[in-house]
Amino acid sequence: SSRGASSAADPGRLRRRPSALPAAAPAPGDAMALRAARLLRFAEAAGTTNRLLLSLTSPAEAVCVKKPVDSVTVPGTEGTFTLTNNHSLIVSQLKAGTITVRDGPDSKDYFISDGFLFYNHPTDGSGCCTAEISAVELVPTSSLDKDRAAQVLSELLAAPKDTEWDRTRAQLGAALVNQVIKAAE
């Protein structure tokens, strides 16, 4: 097996849609709309008080930056837990699983391969605590393809396990892909 080749357990291979679309020049009217959307997406929650401000990022994108939410549930290495505003300070390593973001009656689920959570108390008078989630891979669960993940799992389990690297790759890949399948359900 080749270590330089991309791993069969790469969560990016398990998406229905490609994460990066071919670059095309935006139409003149679209450029202004794109700039406005970026400003709104990254604008701080001005005037927001006593809410949890969530930042959810990966190297590929920032899903939200300081977005006011009611709570976020994360898969910590010691178990799943929920954060709300005024939670105690915490830094936690996250494992593969589902992150659920709740805001009023709405909730949105994301699959995380692993990452870290940093929770801080307000640094101003707003009463808004911050939760910053830095993920290695982060995708909406609606983008996961359960059938493709099952196929990748079969390939991992059927692959030769002649070397320690092959056995480790199969073990870690199977654990990750099983979490993808669980999140896609």
Give the per-residue pLDDT at 165.
92
Give the per-residue pLDDT at 154.
93
Give the per-residue pLDDT at 121.
93
- Report pTM: 0.72
pLDDT tens digits along 118-132: 999 998 888 999 999
Query: CA-to-CA distance for 58 and 60, rounded, in angstroms?
Result: 5
Residue 133 bridge partners (DSSP): 56, 117
Contact 133, 99 (CB under 8 A): yes
Give the per-residue pLDDT at 3.
40
Query: CA-to-CA distance for 50 and 30, rounded, in angstroms?
Result: 36
In a structure prediction context, what are the per-residue pLDDT tens digits for the chain, which is 185 residues long? 344 444 445 555 554 444 433 334 445 556 655 555 554 444 445 677 889 999 999 999 999 999 999 999 999 999 999 999 989 999 999 999 999 999 999 999 999 999 999 999 998 888 999 999 999 999 999 999 999 999 999 999 999 889 999 999 999 999 999 999 999 88
Q: Which of 77, 82, 86 is nearest to 128 (CA)?
A: 86
Give the per-residue pLDDT at 34.
54
Give the per-residue pLDDT at 125.
86
